[in-house]
């Protein structure tokens, strides 16, 4: 007991030190901005913050805007949003040194002088990548991840790291070290996750370009909840240098991608990253430069669409968002074709949940070993550690009620290599069938619902099964983007009163409760393309955004 008490005391000391570092970071930001304003009182920071990224970048390139003015304008705004939402974990003070060097160099990259925010889990040299785990504190990265290296070579200035949920396996944004991050649009709502700090900072205007990861919707949830745009590319189109070992064991693809206020900013980011530097630094990334011809095409598209996946019933505003976007696209001359999804429940339970715990949850439990808090996953841990006979009994009890369905997979872990191979074969078959259905309809892209509006804080932890709309495209490894298209209306709120869900169980009732009181919050749609067609996906997103 004494040893355990000493160990816990040591962990709490590390947490306290990390929080103090976070507070010092905000003080450093405040001092840097104050110093700049004293020296440059005439700089109009509001006009700088109002510029979209393409226009800002152009002004930086032609010299009509100083990188210093832009940098401190965003540091000041980021400080304000961090104070309101608790989205920043660390200020990268070396960014000020990089800023001075950028002014002296003659080489101007595509993102010259652009401040960029980086998700906690992406390595920046000399800084922790905690993933919300106490054990990862005081373990600074030895080098920048590849994407951060390429950002720097393109002239961008990474200036802050942002908050994440513990382990990243959540679409909320809370951990024991840095606490809860709030939605900048409504503080009682979650900003989404796991790139929730990025979503809050970009959504609040404190960063013009953010970068995060996506293993089940971790870019798309924050974008949808905070009313911004995001792109999850095909798994290997961009890759960070390092990632939690737990994610590489998943049978679904991890994507890394940008978040911004508009689609053109995402396209500019992809142009900058898909360059020779990226291909030379990481040989696993295929040398496919950004295809400008596809992105700028104006040819009418043949677009598949669906309003529901028949697993998670869409909220009234989700359904309306798809219908209205479909109508606008048809009016603009595009062809819309109904697409029917099948076996989404099988995909969630067998490919995602069972696949994640294929080793008997050993990797999962190992990730949390020695941590003070298990986030919102207490039930998961209890089941993972339970003896097989108890899991079997629980599965028989749960099946008729559809209550513990997401956890039934704990009963039948893949204990042999043959079973794991069969799982991957099943996923291959599922992808093949989906693409066959896609090509039989001769589709270019797909219009899909996106879970929304933003759920109340604490609800994502109770509603892990609601990731079905996003997780599908991690399993398929298709590029998928999010574009906000409407807001919740009084009529949506009234219609929500009759929401029952497909299974009419505790999860459906809880989801209905989580949607309530959301008038005025943004609602998005997903835009999807076939693998390696990020430019077509962005082109479709741009079309939706414009309409």
- Which pLDDT band holds residue 418 (cuts at 50, 70, 90)? confident
474 lies in the same domain as 494: yes
Give yes or no: residues 158 and 302 share one domain: no
Helices and strands (H and E) in the chain: how many: 25, 13
Q: What is the pLDDT of residues 214-256, one digit of tens each?
A: 989 999 999 999 999 999 999 999 976 555 555 555 667 889 9
Considering the domain architecture, whether residues 66 and 161 belong to the same structural domain is answered as: yes
The pLDDT value recorded for residue 106 is: 66
List of residues 6+ apart from 91 with CB closer than 8 A: 25, 26, 28, 29, 159, 160
Annotated binding site for substrate: 168, 194, 215-218
The region of weakest confidence among 59-63, 301-305, 353-357, 452-456 is: 353-357
pLDDT at 169: 87
Q: Does residue 426 belong to any structural domain of this protein?
A: no
Answer yes or no: do 95 and 242 share one domain: yes
Annotated binding site: 168, 194, 215-218
Within-domain flag for 347: no
CATH number at residue 94: 3.90.1300.10
**pLDDT tens string 339-368:** 999 889 888 888 887 777 777 777 777 888
Query: How confident is the model over 29-50, as pLDDT tens digits?
Result: 999 999 999 999 999 999 999 9
Instruction: Kindly write down the DSSP assignment for every residue of 194-248, as one continuous string.
Output: SSHHHHHHHHTTS-S-EEEEESSSTTHHHHHHHT-EEEE--TTTS--S---HHHH
Q: Other C-beta atoms within 10 Å of 424: how many? A: 13
pLDDT at 411: 46
Q: What is the pLDDT of residues 174-220, one digit of tens each?
A: 999 999 999 999 999 999 999 999 999 999 999 999 999 998 999 99
Domain range enclosing 189: 1-290
pLDDT attached to residue 15: 96
Q: Do 462 and 518 fall into the same domain?
A: yes
Q: Which residues are catalytic?
A: 119, 194, 218
Q: 418 lies in a domain?
A: no
Query: Does residue 459 share a domain with residue 379?
Result: no
Question: If you average pLDDT over residues 520-524, what whole number do you get?
Answer: 98
> Do 2 and 84 sit in the same domain of this protein?
yes
Residue 241 in any domain: the answer is: yes
- Whether residue 83 sits in one domain with residue 110: yes
Same domain for 299 and 186 = no
Query: Domain for residue 266, yes or no?
Result: yes
The reply to whether 265 falls in a domain is yes
The reported pLDDT for the residue numbered 366 is 81
Assess whether 477 and 541 both reside in one domain.
yes
Whether residue 320 is found in the same domain as residue 218: no
**Per the domain annotation, does 352 fall within a domain?**
no
Please report whether residue 428 resides in a domain: no
Q: 249 and 133: one domain?
A: yes
Residue 401 pLDDT > 70: no
Q: Using an 8 Å Cβ cutoff, are 263 and 53 in contact?
A: no
Q: CB–CB of 221/126 below 8 Å?
A: no
With a cut of 50, say whether residue 323 has pLDDT above it.
yes
- How many structural domains are present in the chain? 3
Domain boundary among 273, 290, 307: 290
CB 87 within 8 A of CB 202: no
Give the span between the Cα atoms of 148 and 158, in whole angstroms. 8
């Amino acid at each position: 007991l004494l040893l355990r008490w000493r160990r816990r005391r040591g962990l709490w000391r590390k947490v306290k030190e990390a929080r103090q570092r976070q507070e010092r970071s905000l003080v450093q930001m405040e001092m840097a901005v104050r110093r700049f304003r004293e020296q440059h009182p005439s700089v109009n920071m509001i006009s700088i913050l109002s510029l979209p990224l393409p226009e800002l970048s152009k002004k930086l390139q032609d010299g009509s805007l100083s990188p210093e003015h832009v940098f401190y304008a965003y540091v000041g705004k980021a400080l304000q949003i961090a104070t309101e939402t608790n989205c920043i974990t660390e200020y990268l003070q070396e960014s000020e040194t990089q800023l001075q060097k950028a002014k002296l160099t003659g080489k101007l990259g595509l993102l010259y002088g652009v401040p960029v925010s980086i998700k906690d889990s992406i390595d920046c040299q000399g800084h922790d990548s905690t993933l919300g785990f106490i054990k990862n504190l005081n373990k600074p990265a030895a080098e920048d991840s590849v994407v951060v290296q390429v950002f720097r070579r393109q002239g961008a200035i990474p200036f802050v790291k942002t908050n994440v949920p513990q382990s990243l396996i959540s679409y909320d944004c809370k951990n024991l070290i840095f606490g809860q991050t709030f939605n900048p649009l409504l503080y009682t709502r979650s900003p989404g996750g796991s790139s929730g700090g990025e979503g809050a900072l970009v959504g609040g205007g404190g960063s013009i370009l953010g970068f995060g990861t996506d293993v089940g919707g971790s870019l798309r949830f924050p974008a949808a909840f905070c009313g911004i745009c995001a792109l999850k590319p095909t798994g290997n189109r961009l890759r960070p240098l390092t990632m939690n070992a737990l994610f590489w064991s998943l049978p679904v693809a991890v994507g890394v991608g940008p978040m911004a206020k508009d689609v053109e900013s995402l396209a500019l980011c992809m142009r900058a990253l898909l360059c020779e530097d990226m291909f030379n630094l990481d040989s696993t990334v295929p040398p496919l430069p950004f295809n400008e011809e596809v992105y700028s095409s104006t040819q009418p598209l043949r677009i598949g669409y669906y309003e529901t996946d028949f697993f998670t019933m869409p909220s009234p505003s989700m359904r309306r968002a798809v219908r209205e976007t479909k109508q606008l696209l048809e009016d603009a001359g595009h062809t819309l074709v109904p697409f029917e999804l099948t076996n989404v429940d099988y995909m969630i339970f067998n490919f995602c949940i069972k696949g994640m715990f294929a080793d008997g949850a050993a990797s999962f439990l190992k990730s949390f070993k020695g941590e003070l808090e298990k986030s919102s996953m207490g039930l998961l841990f209890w089941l993972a550690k339970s003896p097989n006979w108890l899991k079997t009994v629980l599965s028989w009890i749960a099946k008729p009620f559809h209550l513990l369905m997401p956890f039934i997979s704990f009963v039948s872990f893949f204990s042999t290599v043959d079973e794991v191979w069969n799982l991957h074969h099943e996923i291959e078959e599922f992808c093949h069938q989906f693409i066959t259905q896609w090509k039989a309809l001769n589709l270019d892209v797909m219009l899909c619902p996106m879970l929304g509006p933003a759920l109340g804080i604490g609800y994502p932890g109770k509603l892990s099964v609601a990731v079905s709309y996003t997780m599908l495209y991690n399993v398929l490894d298709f590029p998928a983007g999010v574009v906000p298209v409407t807001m919740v209306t009084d009529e949506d709120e009234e219609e929500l009163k009759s929401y029952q869900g497909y299974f009419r169980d505790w999860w459906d009732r809880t989801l209905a409760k989580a949607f309530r009181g959301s008038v005025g919050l943004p609602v998005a749609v997903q835009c999807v393309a076939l693998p390696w067609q990020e430019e077509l996906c962005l082109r479709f997103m741009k079309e939706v955004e414009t309409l």
